[in-house]
Structure 1
Amino acid sequence: MLHCGTASESTFPAAGGSPCDTVYRGLCGKPCATDTECADGLYCGLDDKCSADCAPEQPCLSGLMCTNRGRCGGDLTGPGFPDAGDDDGGIVTDAVCADTDVALTKVQPKVLFLLDQSSSMRHYRFPTGDSNNCNPDCRWTVLKDVLIGPAANPGGLLKQLEGEAEIGVKMYSATDGNPNDNDNSFLPEPTDKVCPRFNGKAFDGLTFELNAFPTVDAMLRPASVDDDTPTGPAIRTVVGLADDGGVGDPKGFAALASKAPKVLVLVTDGEPGLCGDNFASEPGRAAVINAVQQTYTHDIRTFVIAIGDTSAQAERHFNAVANAGKGLDPVTGDAGAIRPNTPQQLVDALKHIVLDARTCTFDLNGQVQAGMEKLGTVTLNGAPVPFDAPGAPDEGWRLVTPSRIELVGSACETLKSSPDAQLTARFPCGAISPNVPK
């Protein structure tokens, strides 16, 4: 939860750019200590430079008065606000505009769960052994119970993670059409005869929601398993990869415009096949690694949750995919697949991936003026956060763009470890231009 103040915002000229670029070109920016050291129509800003927010030819927004020192607002005189013309030589303050409590919008990661929907998820126990046709603890049941809970109330992990990330879920599979191989589809007809398919249907795009539990619960709770495991083709499809690794499908993950981190979580219990060759094979394994490597070039990290095959060959494959998912060499990298052996370990692994993907980045409802970012005041849970100046150690807060701040160092760690963290940002009058609705 983010706590944002509601103090009145400063106002600035409605059009025509800054007066410093027009009416007062060449006069702004000069060093000063008081208003009287600036040219007529300008005031001495908090950065100790002459400036102006308005001019007779460039009025303030909201009908506020432009004072004779180029501030938007009314003149205040009296104790604490000496008038420029008093006999005591008081310093001009001619207008006082309120500091701005800036609204903060957290940049949420997008996390796509890609779930193996093959028949082995029903035929084998979690993590190993024959499940006696999913009675009682096959991999499919355990995975669903972890994600959505045995019942919608209280629900599972996805309900706990609401508000932490924008989440999407896809189940992938294929069918070989062989009625005699003992791995027939359990999906209700009609299904789409395509490979890969997603809960029995052709790929129709992705949906991400910050509060995704109701949508995922309605889809996943009644879902059963299909036949086979075309992991490589499934990754290429959901990411929307072209043959050369570029963007081939505007509905895919790679084409999805996002300011936030994008993460793909692959949950699978066996080695992969290909469309048209559904048995595990070296080409099938290579196709997965290639797809994940190309996915990484689109700034999408891939994590592997391996909940089945424990053979040495499978272990090497899953580790290679995990390495590729983080941009490492598939053979020599040290990322490693995640192998939970209990339902709680599966919960912990998935939860860690999602929470670690969260950012410490926030969008502001305004534009901080160049060179004035250090004048901002940021607090986290009531404690001040220091400004992280360029070249300084990564500690405190920094301005990433004129409308985005980022917490770094211990401040970021505190934010991630605080379920109800309260972050505020305030900038003095003249340091930030509020966004104006069009």
Structure 2
Amino acid sequence: MGLLTGLALVVVGAMVGCGSDKDDGAANGDGAGGNTILDPNDGGEGAGPTKKRECNPQPGCNDLQVEFESVVPTVMILVDRSSSMFDTPFGNSPNRWQPLKEALIGENGVLRELHGAVRFGFATYTHQQVNGAAACPLMDVIDIATATDSFDSIVNLYDEVSVDPATTGSNPLTYKGETPTGAAIRAVLPVLEADQAPGPKFLLLVTDGEPDTCAEPDPQCGQDEAIAAVQEAFAKNIRTFVIGVGEIGRDHLQDLANAGAGQPVQRRTPQADCDPPTLGSYEPSGGDARYYRPENPADLRDDIGRIVGGVRSCEFKLSEEVDLEKADKGTVLLDCEGLPYDDANGWRMTSPTDLELVGDACTTIKTTIRPDLYITFPCESYVVVR
């Protein structure tokens, strides 16, 4: 599956000269014909956009450039660091931790490819009985950051915590890493809530076992608490996606997925030794939100890419107002192919400053590696303030 590693935000058509009767269609700058797609990611830190390639759309007035930007989503990745992640095989790997690490930050990892196109936070969670309930959950968190070094910070933390908690003390039973999923979700929600950046917020939970609680690490009776925490996140406009690696039950994955999507969660008979659920909200039957349960490392990476790539927005904010009655005169190119206006697989204006790609065009934005997008309007389409 192709992953979107960064959208080439392209400089669009212009305003200077729009008050003039003369428009000879010449390109700005060096006088070359056509319009050049510009990539603000080229040229190093602090550099302006640099030329990427020629698409030669019909020229607009090009003296003052009007920019656009995409709506950037924020994703907090929450990783289970229980001991079973380190001591249980997964596919052809001796454990579950390393394939997940490679899928996220390896050479072809999703975070490496999408860093800059998605704002990432990162956290791991576990609990050790030796520390007592008051110290639960044991969290390591990289805050959601806009700095260019946030990826490096995530890599450094991932390396630091890549140790089975059971090996950190003399008694593997009391030092064993547990799975307090509900408590961990509640711990990261304030981080997401405090972030003031525009755009939607998401939580991606990756876990390999049934959850327990801080008060009772064994048996695994934390399902109700975890579901309630995910429902709390949704009530705060934070959607949760869930990936299960290992033996985590499909019923619980379905319940978490439903809670994360705001769908009904089925009331189930608690497993032996567990009390009836009292924290979450339940219905006689549940929804059908998608959950992910990959069987091998390759599928794990694809599922993460599918989730994170899928939250990319197809909405773009223009820096100048467009007259909606003349919006059809605009030109939108995706990878140098013209998109139809007001078409199910093209583009539309949802306000004078908001442009949206829909259908196949939106799918391309979400699934293509570095798609090039060019937006321009002729002078007559702009709302000119005098």
Quote the residue 2:231 is aligned against.
293
Residue deviations 1:332-355, cap 9 Å, x none? 222243111211111111111111
Do the aligned partners of residues 395 and 279 (structure 1) sit closer, same or farther apart at CA in structure 2, a change above 3 Å counting?
same
User: Which SS does the other structure have where 1:213 is aligned?
Assistant: helix
Quote the residue 1:279 is aligned against.
218
User: Which SS does the other structure have where 1:327 is aligned?
Assistant: coil
In the superposition, the TM-score normalised over structure 1's length comes to 0.63
Do the aligned partners of residues 193 and 204 (structure 1) sit closer, same or farther apart at CA in structure 2, a change above 3 Å counting?
farther
Q: Distance in 2 between matches of 1:400 and 1:194?
A: 49
Q: Quick one: which amino acid aligns to residue 407 of structure 1?
A: L
Q: Paired residue for 1:270, among 209, 230, 233?
A: 209
Quote the residue 1:102 is aligned against.
66
Aligned 8 A contact 1:168 1:209 in 2: no
Quote the residue 1:375 is aligned against.
329
Q: Paired residue for 1:4, among 1, 10, 28?
A: 10
Q: Distance in 2 between matches of 1:323 and 1:297?
A: 13
Quote the residue 1:30 is aligned against.
none
Q: Distance in 2 between matches of 1:261 and 1:345?
A: 26
Give 1:324 deviation, angstroms.
1.3
Q: Quick one: which amino acid aligns to residue 160 of structure 2?
A: P
Q: Quick one: which amino acid aligns to residue 354 of structure 2?
A: R
Q: Paired residue for 1:333, among 262, 287, 291?
A: 287
Q: Distance in 2 between matches of 1:264 and 1:384?
A: 35
In the superposition, the TM-score normalised over structure 2's length comes to 0.71
Larger Rg: 1
Q: Distance in 1 between matches of 2:217 and 2:245?
A: 19
Residue deviations 1:100-119, cap 9 Å, x none? 65322122222211000122
Q: Distance in 2 between matches of 1:164 and 1:97?
A: 29
Q: Distance in 2 between matches of 1:412 and 1:100?
A: 28
Do the aligned partners of residues 362 and 210 (structure 1) sit closer, same or farther apart at CA in structure 2, a change above 3 Å counting?
farther
Q: Distance in 2 between matches of 1:305 and 1:97?
A: 49
Give 1:238 deviation, angstroms.
0.8
Q: CA RMSD in A?
A: 3.3
Quote the residue 2:303 is aligned against.
349
Do the aligned partners of residues 211 and 334 (structure 1) sit closer, same or farther apart at CA in structure 2, a change above 3 Å counting?
farther
Quote the residue 2:278 is aligned against.
none
Q: Distance in 2 between matches of 1:377 and 1:214?
A: 38
Q: Choose 347-356 or 362-371, whichever is displaced more.
A: 362-371
Q: Distance in 2 between matches of 1:397 and 1:358?
A: 16
Give the percent of matched residue pairs that are identical in Structure 1 and Structure 2.
Answer: 34
Aligned 8 A contact 1:100 1:427 in 2: no
Aligned 8 A contact 2:317 2:353 in 1: yes
Do the aligned partners of residues 434 and 273 (structure 1) sit closer, same or farther apart at CA in structure 2, a change above 3 Å counting?
farther
Q: Distance in 1 between matches of 2:306 and 2:148?
A: 17
Q: Paired residue for 1:168, among 103, 110, 121?
A: 121
Do the aligned partners of residues 405 and 76 (structure 1) sit closer, same or farther apart at CA in structure 2, a change above 3 Å counting?
closer
Quote the residue 1:195 is aligned against.
136
Do the aligned partners of residues 431 and 346 (structure 1) sit closer, same or farther apart at CA in structure 2, a change above 3 Å counting?
same
User: Which SS does the other structure have where 1:305 is aligned?
Assistant: strand
Aligned 8 A contact 1:4 1:101 in 2: no
Alignment of 1:34-433 (within 5 A): 72-73=19-20, 102-126=66-90, 137-149=94-106, 154=107, 156-177=109-130, 194-199=135-140, 205-207=143-145, 212-223=150-161, 224-226=163-165, 227-240=177-190, 252-282=191-221, 284-310=222-248, 314-331=249-266, 332-369=286-323, 371-388=325-342, 394-432=344-382
Do the aligned partners of residues 406 and 124 (structure 1) sit closer, same or farther apart at CA in structure 2, a change above 3 Å counting?
same
Choose between structure 1 and 2 for higher RCO, CA contacts under 8 A separated by at least 6 residues. 2
How many residues are paired up?
A: 313
> More helix by proportion, 1 or 2?
2
Aligned 8 A contact 1:165 1:210 in 2: no
Q: Distance in 1 between matches of 2:99 and 2:9?
A: 37
Q: Quick one: which amino acid aligns to residue 138 of structure 1?
A: N
Aligned 8 A contact 1:205 1:238 in 2: no
Q: Distance in 1 between matches of 2:147 and 2:67?
A: 22
Q: Distance in 2 between matches of 1:330 and 1:109?
A: 26
Do the aligned partners of residues 121 and 6 (structure 1) sit closer, same or farther apart at CA in structure 2, a change above 3 Å counting?
closer
Quote the residue 1:36 is aligned against.
none
Q: Distance in 2 between matches of 1:106 and 1:77?
A: 29
User: Which SS does the other structure have where 1:358 is aligned?
Assistant: coil
User: Which SS does the other structure have where 1:366 is aligned?
Assistant: coil
Residue deviations 1:68-114, cap 9 Å, x none? xxx745x6599xxxxxxxxxxxxxxxxx9768653221222222110
- Unaligned stretches of 5+ in structure 2? 1-6, 25-59, 166-176, 267-285
Q: Quick one: which amino acid aligns to residue 142 of structure 1?
A: P
Quote the residue 1:55 is aligned against.
none
User: Which SS does the other structure have where 1:335 is aligned?
Assistant: coil
Q: Quick one: which amino acid aligns to residue 94 of structure 2?
A: D
- Unaligned stretches of 5+ in structure 1? 12-70, 79-95, 129-135, 180-191, 241-251
Aligned 8 A contact 1:10 1:434 in 2: no
Residue deviations 1:131-183, cap 9 Å, x none? xxxxx72222232233223xxxx46332233344222211012222179xxxx
